[in-house]
Amino acid sequence: MKKVYLDYAAATPMAGQVREAMAPYYDKLFHNPSATYLAGRTARAELESIRHRIAAVIGARPAEIIFTAGATEANNLAVQGIMDRYDGSEMLYSAIEHESVIGPAAKYPSGEIPVDSKGLIILNKLSNLINDRTVLVSVMLVNNELGTIQPLREISAAIGQVRRERAAKGNDLPIFLHTDAAQAANYLGIHTSRLGVDLMSVNGGKIYGPKQSGFLFVKAGTSVEPLIRGGGQEFGLRSGTENLAAAAGLAVALEMAASGRKAESVRVSGLRQEFETGLGGLAVAVTINGSKHRRAPHLVSAVFTGIDNERLMMELDEAGIMCAIGSACSASRHEASHVLSAIGLDDTAARSTLRFSFGRHTTADDIRRTIGTLARLTDSNR
Ligand code: PLP
């Protein structure tokens, strides 16, 4: 029987057009862009043209795009790049950031911005937490466990106010806003000036592009220290021979995401609506985590009251349906997800949470089959 894949927030299958765009760089156009003979110069021109296309999608200048191997590296470069540059400064990050922000932040003086029960950051708490040494604020655009969309424009405006106050006081420490947009590009605009961000992480693996592809947008005038030193590629910020195939695949994936965004958001929202209606009709009590109004359309985090999430996930898998355990309590790490505890879920509710995420190949039939299977698996009389 056909499998039902409902874990697009974890990984997306590569689009055929992406694969086609990558293929030439593995053999015909394999040359090193740093080589000075004609083929090397051609590779350099190709890379710069790809950079140009990516910049166009996010409203940036080409020199503001630093290719990385995915969003984890981009997040590490953003955090360490800024924090190492401004010694003795501090950073803030939201309580629901991905581990690839929280992990590097732990190396520096840092604080958490609390979120409310819907997973939205509390803006006046952010303003109170910013002090004269705060140089970086990192708030993700779409949360990977809840789908919650953060009010980045308002956060950016609050940071603008801090800049003005610092200028008036003669404090010349800059303050930057970073966003991890890894879950966003399929459904939301990620135009950097509209979001008001100084740094932004994007990856290919969530937008039907190659895994380990991605970039960090670094706004002109934002000074960051490199993570990886060597030959000085990527404007000195990310040494190593450039991966043209990954960059080419990423560009096509990003362009496709941008052109399909509106229609796909409407289609996937419809599927989510149908799924949530189905969840409401189950015999077991189901509550949806996160904000109803500020949520990316592809993601549903649901508490199946009284049901063990690992067991339900395994039973769904046996029935051919793939989803994720909302609480990241992996077998080796028996602690509830920091995201679910940040929104106030207790351990019991967190251990009853599953995450379902939809994508390009999800159909109404997949949704109906999943609801039917959930009805069978959660029926207390079975
Ligand atoms: N940030 C968020 C919000 C994510 O969902 C993920 C992937 O799970 C990452 C960062 C890490 O991305 P990558 O696997 O490209 O390093």
Q: Which of 39, 113, 14, 92 is nearest to 342 (CA)?
A: 113
pLDDT in tens, 314-323: 999 999 999 9
pLDDT for the residue 1: 82
pLDDT in tens, 210-233: 999 999 999 999 999 999 999 999
Residue 334 has pLDDT above 80, yes or no: no
329 is catalytic: yes
Output the DSSP codes for 239-264: -S---HHHHHHHHHHHHHHHHHHHHH
Q: What is the mean pLDDT of residues 342-360?
A: 97
How far, in Å, from the CA of 183 to the mean position of ligand 1?
8
Output the DSSP codes for 292-322: SSSB-TTEEEEEETT--HHHHHHHHHHTTEE
- Nearest ligand 1 atom to alpha carbon 211: 15
pLDDT for the residue 329: 42
pLDDT for the residue 326: 67
Whole-angstrom distance, CA of residue 139 vs CA of residue 94: 6
- Nearest ligand 1 atom to alpha carbon 140: 3
How far, in Å, from the CA of 71 to the mean position of ligand 1?
5
Strands 299-304, 286-288: pairing is: antiparallel
pLDDT for the residue 331: 47
Residue 207 has pLDDT above 60, yes or no: yes
Average pLDDT, the chain: 96
pLDDT in tens, 74-131: 999 999 999 999 999 999 999 999 999 999 999 999 999 999 999 999 999 999 999 9
Whole-angstrom distance, CA of residue 227 vs CA of residue 113: 25
Residue 177 has pLDDT above 90, yes or no: yes
pLDDT in tens, 253-279: 999 999 999 999 999 999 999 999 999
pLDDT for the residue 381: 60
DSSP-derived secondary structure letter, 173 = -
110 strand-pairing partners:
91
Residue 330 has pLDDT above 50, yes or no: no
Q: Which of 9, 95, 120, 110 is nearest to 341 (CA)?
A: 95
Residue nearest to atom 8 of ligand 1 (CA): 10
- With the most atoms of ligand 1 within 8 angstroms of its CB, the residue from 67, 100, 102, 338 to mutate is 100
pLDDT band at 25; cut points 50, 70, 90: very high
Residue 234 has pLDDT above 80, yes or no: yes
How far, in Å, from the CA of 203 to the mean position of ligand 1?
7
Instruction: Name every protein residue with a CB atom under 6 angstroms from any ligand 1 atom.
Output: 70-72, 98, 100, 140, 144, 180, 182-183, 203, 205, 214
pLDDT for the residue 335: 72
**Percentage of residues of the chain with pLDDT beyond 90:** 95
- With the most atoms of ligand 1 within 8 angstroms of its CB, the residue from 144, 216, 227 to mutate is 144
pLDDT in tens, 277-298: 999 999 999 999 999 899 999 9
pLDDT for the residue 327: 55
Residue 353 has pLDDT above 50, yes or no: yes
Residue 240 has pLDDT above 70, yes or no: yes
Find the catalytic residue in 316, 329, 340, 349: 329
pLDDT in tens, 42-64: 999 999 999 999 999 999 999 99
Residue 22 has pLDDT above 70, yes or no: yes
